[in-house]
Structures are given as C-alpha cells and as structure tokens.
C-alpha cells in the first residue's frame, strides 16, 4: 500500500477506533489522546512493517494499551482497591478479537450532545469524527485558530463533566441533536470537496466519509427531509469531482469543466433523492442547496444553466439563513441574471456588513464580476488580493493564473 493509501486508511479508521475506545473506557478526552498516539504509532511503524491484516483491531489494541496506562496512573494516584485496578486495566482486545461494530454514528450523536453549545458541539465533532485540524475548523467558522482551539478544549471538558454515555440516543434526543449532526457532515464534506489549506484542491477521504455518514443518517431517519436533502446535495456536488481538476491537480472552474466527466449515475441518484424530499412539503436549507446543485448538474452546457431558477432558489435560501457565503452566492447568481453591476452592488452590501471582511472569496468573486464588466484593471487587483489571502495552493494558483491572463491581455 502506498503512503497516500495508508494516510487515507488511517483517516478513515480514526473515528471508528475512537468510537470503540470510548465505548470501552468511557473517558472521551483520554480516549482521543490514546487514539492519536495509536495513529502516530501506525504512521511510524506501518511503512516499514506493512499494514496489519486487521488495521482497525491493531489501532484499537494500541489505543487500549495507552488507555490502560492512563487508568493505571489514575487509579494508583487515587489508591483505588486492587480489584478495581484489575478490572479497569484489563488488556484491550487483540486485533482478531476486536469488535467489528462501527461506532462512528454513535460518536457523531454523542459529540452533538445538548450539554454543549451548538458551535462547540460542531467544532468537537469536526475534530473527533471528521479528523479536521484546528486550522481547518477555524476556517470553516471564520474565526482565529486560537479561538477554535479554546472552543474545542472546553467542549471536551464539558463531555467529561457531563458523563455522557456512549449509546445511540432515543428518538427525541436524536431529533434534538440532528441539526448539529447534519451541519457537521456538511462542513466535513465541504472541507473534502474544496480543502481550505494545503496543496490538494480536494480531499476525497473527507468527502467520501461525509457521504458515507450522511447515508447512515438517512438510513436511520429515511423520512427526514433535510437528512435526505443533505445526502442529495453531497451526491450531486461530488458528481462533478472528476472534472474539477486538470492533469496537474489545477482547479477547473464550473464553466470550463468537461461535463462528460461528471458522474451520470450519481446525478440520477441525487436528483431522485431531492425530488422525493421536496415532494414531502417542508423545505430546508440543505434541500434548497441540493436543488441548486441539481439545476447545475442537469445543464448539458454551462450556457444552458437556468440561472433565473438558481437565483430564485438562492433568494429563498437567503431568507432562511444569514450565512454570508449564501449572500455571496446570491450575488453571483444575480450577476448571471441581471448583469455584473447588480452583483457588484450586492457585494458592496456584504462589505458594509463586515462579516466577510478580508476573506479571499469576496475579492475572488469581485474580481470575476469586474472581469465580466470589462474592468480588467480592477479585476486584476482583486484576483491578486484574493490570491494573497487564500491558504489553498490550488486556489491561489488559479487566481494567479486569472490575474496573469488579464495582465497579458490573453
């Protein structure tokens, strides 16, 4: 197995192993530390020794030993009775004895417990289940890294103090936590589909895991419209993945993609999902976003895109959420329907609100609309400003190439 394959395998197994260890030992914070140590051990040993036949069991055993060491230290410090020490430090299961149950879904609902604030629950779940770094999570929330690190630390402490049990919540509790669960999966998918940091535009391991978990939630709650809408959104968006990058991993924008490379079967599945969800009555933000993705996917050419319908859908979405990224997308759709001047005016409104102040996407969109309006000088300046701010190398390279094309007049 290649190094990249081993890295992807470890990312896939991490939440499953964490779930198994939390189920056995109950201490979420210590379990997360133990799993991280097991992952580090695997990263150091597997390249030389080879991937074990049961990598999940191997990780559970190593993490279990770390937990045993932790419990021995704690129990010794507290001078517990010998019988308790023996029970608590019992050897973790060997790889061939490790349970095959995937506890990721339980872990997902556990991290979204109402004892945590909604932002803290989502941040903790992105860390524990999604495997995102603190920097990536901070980017998703548009907050500084230090702020996010404190939020995650407080969330882990709250989990510990609340003594939250590791079990699937009942129907009422699931309903209470579902909003946070869906939002977490949405953010994990987004980070996988368009990585906010690093050299790769896409992290297929993250987007694929988000889709897998969204399928599990949909199977658990088949009649929930928003669970279906989120799954449809992921499938319809991921259907374009093969066409989003060139041979050297460079970003290819939607209007330049080879649509014959889009996954027709995935589009068919996603359209069927969102059609059924919308027919049930109540419409939510994920259903609307899935409907927008379906309109894009069903256009044989970029020129065939039904922009008025997309604008109408974004208008509904904008009334349901105050997310500034939705307002940014609405401005783009408005520009496609009514001309770049209208879109630029909407961007000025976003500027005045200040929630996207300094964000590279605002400059990137403004550069695109200035280019459409024929203002090459302003477009060049905005593309360069956006390139200087993004932490994604493929996006930076794309923005630089756009600026270079304008500066040379090609």
What separation in angstroms does the CA of 340 have from each of 279, 328, 364, 383?
34, 13, 14, 16
Closest CA to 59 of 23, 104, 94, 105: 94
Question: pLDDT digit string (tens) for 108-120?
Answer: 888 888 778 878 8
CB 239 within 8 A of CB 263: yes
More confident: 22 or 369:
369
Estimate the crossing angle of helix 264-278 against helix 225-238, to 10 degrees. 160
Does residue 78 surpass a pLDDT of 60? no
How confident is the model at residue 86, as a pLDDT? 42
CB 104 within 8 A of CB 125: no
Query: pLDDT digit string (tens) for 243-284?
Result: 999 998 899 999 999 999 999 999 999 999 999 999 887 899
pLDDT category at 14 given cuts 50, 70, 90 is: confident
Phi, psi torsion values for 392, nearest 5 degrees? -95, 120
Q: Which two tokens stand for residue 299?
A: 């256009």
Q: Taking residues 215-220, report their average pLDDT.
A: 91
- Look-up of token digits 């929330």: 141
Q: Which residue has the tokens 């939705």?
A: 326
8-state DSSP, 222: T
CA proximity to 44, closest of 31, 32, 62, 70: 62
pLDDT of res. 163: 67
Where residue 10 falls among pLDDT bands split at 50, 70, 90? Answer: confident
**Three-state secondary structure readout of 73-105:** HHHHHHCCCHHHHHHHCCCCCCHHHCCCCCCHH
Residue 100 confidence (pLDDT): 45
- Dihedral of alpha carbons 106, 109, 114, 117, sign: positive
Rounded to whole angstroms, the Cα distance separating 292 from 233 reads 9
Residue with tokens 């329907």: 337
pLDDT attached to residue 275? 95
pLDDT of residue 74: 56
Q: Which tokens in the block code for residue 273?
A: 């999902």
pLDDT band at 47 (very low <50, low <70, confident <90, very high): confident
More confident residue, 330 or 51: 330
Section 192-210 average pLDDT: 84
Which tokens is 325 given? Answer: 């990224």
Work out the pLDDT band at 82, boundaries 50, 70, 90: very low
- What's the maximum distance between 2 C-alpha atoms anywhere in the chain? 80
Q: Are 367 and 404 in contact (CB under 8 A)?
A: no
pLDDT (average), residues 382-403: 93
Phi-psi region of 132 (alpha: psi -120 to 50; beta: other; left: phi over 0): beta
Interval 142-200: pLDDT, tens: 788 888 888 888 887 787 777 666 678 888 888 888 998 998 899 889 988 988 877 88
Best-predicted range by mean pLDDT among 43-52, 163-172, 296-305?
A: 296-305
Which of 27-31, 71-75, 134-138 is the least confident region? 71-75
Q: Is 410 exposed, middle or buried (0-12, 13-18, 19+ CB in 10 A)?
A: exposed
Backbone angles phi, psi at 245, to 5 degrees: -130, 150
Q: Quick one: pLDDT band at residue 88, thresholds 50, 70, 90?
A: very low
pLDDT of residue 85: 43
Q: Residue 353 has which token pair?
A: 């609100």
> Is residue 101 scored above 70 in pLDDT?
no
Paired tokens of 329 = 């997308």
pLDDT of residue 370: 96
Asked if 160 and 28 count as a contact pair (C-beta separation under 8 A), the reply is: yes
For 192, phi and psi rounded to 5 degrees? -75, -35
The conformation of residue 221, written as its DSSP 8-state character, comes to: S
Distance separating alpha carbons of residues 282 and 286, to the nearest angstrom: 12
Instruction: Over range 201-213, report the average pLDDT.
Output: 87
CB distance 126 to 38 below 8 Å: no
Q: Would you say how long the chain is, in residues?
A: 410
State mean pLDDT over 346-374. 91
- In this model, does residue 9 exceed pLDDT 90? no
The pLDDT value recorded for residue 46 is: 86
**Can you give the pLDDT at residue 170?**
85
> 338 CB contacts (<8 Å, ≥6 apart)?
none
Cα distance between residue 25 and residue 260, in whole Å: 50
Q: How confident is the model at residue 70 (pLDDT cuts 50, 70, 90)?
A: low
Statement: residue 89 has pLDDT above 60: no
pLDDT of residue 102: 62
339 has a pLDDT exceeding 90: yes
Question: Is 50 exceeded by the pLDDT of residue 97?
Answer: no
Section 372-400 average pLDDT: 94
Using pLDDT thresholds of 50, 70 and 90, give the confidence band for residue 80. very low
Burial of 358 (0-12, 13-18, 19+ CB in 10 A): exposed
Question: For 359-387, what is the mean pLDDT?
Answer: 95
């Amino acid at each position: 197995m290649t190094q990249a394959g081993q890295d992807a395998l470890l990312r896939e197994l991490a939440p499953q192993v964490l779930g198994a260890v939390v189920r056995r030992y109950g201490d979420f914070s210590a379990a997360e530390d133990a799993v991280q140590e097991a992952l580090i051990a695997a990263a150091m040993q597997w390249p030389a020794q080879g991937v074990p036949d049961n990598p999940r069991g191997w990780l559970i055993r190593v993490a279990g030993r770390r937990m045993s060491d932790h419990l021995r230290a704690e129990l010794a410090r507290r001078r517990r009775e010998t019988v308790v020490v023996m029970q608590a430090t019992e050897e973790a299961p060997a790889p061939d004895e490790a349970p095959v149950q995937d506890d990721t879904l339980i872990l997902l609902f556990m991290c979204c417990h109402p004892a945590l604030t909604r932002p803290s629950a989502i941040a903790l779940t992105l860390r524990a289940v999604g495997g995102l770094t603190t920097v990536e999570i901070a980017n998703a929330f548009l907050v500084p890294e230090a702020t996010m690190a404190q939020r995650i630390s407080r969330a882990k402490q709250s989990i510990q103090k609340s003594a939250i049990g590791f079990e699937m919540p009942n129907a009422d509790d699931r309903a209470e936590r579902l909003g946070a669960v869906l939002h977490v999966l949405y953010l994990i998918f987004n980070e996988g589909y368009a990585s906010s940091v690093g050299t790769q535009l896409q992290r297929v391991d993250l987007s694929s895991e988000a889709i897998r978990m969204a399928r599990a939630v949909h199977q658990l709650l088949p009649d929930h419209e928003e669970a279906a809408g989120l799954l449809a959104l992921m499938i319809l968006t991921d259907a374009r993945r093969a066409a989003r990058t060139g041979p050297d991993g460079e970003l290819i924008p939607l209007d330049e993609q080879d649509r014959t490379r889009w996954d027709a079967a995935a589009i068919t599945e996603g359209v069927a999902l969102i059609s059924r969800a919308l027919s049930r009555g109540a419409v939510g933000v994920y259903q609307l976003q899935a409907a927008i993705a379906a309109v894009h996917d069903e256009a044989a050419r970029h020129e065939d895109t039904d922009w008025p319908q997309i604008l109408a859908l974004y208008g509904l979405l904008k009334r349901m959420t105050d997310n500034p990224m939705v307002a940014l997308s609405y401005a783009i759709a408005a520009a496609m329907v009514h001309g770049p001047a209208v879109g630029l005016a909407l961007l000025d409104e976003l500027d005045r609100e200040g929630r996207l102040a300094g964000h590279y996407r605002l400059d990137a969109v403004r550069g695109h609309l200035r280019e459409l309006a024929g203002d090459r000088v302003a477009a060049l300046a905005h593309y360069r400003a956006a390139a200087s701010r993004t932490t994604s190398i493929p996006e930076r390279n794309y923005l630089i190439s756009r600026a270079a094309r304008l500066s040379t007049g090609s």
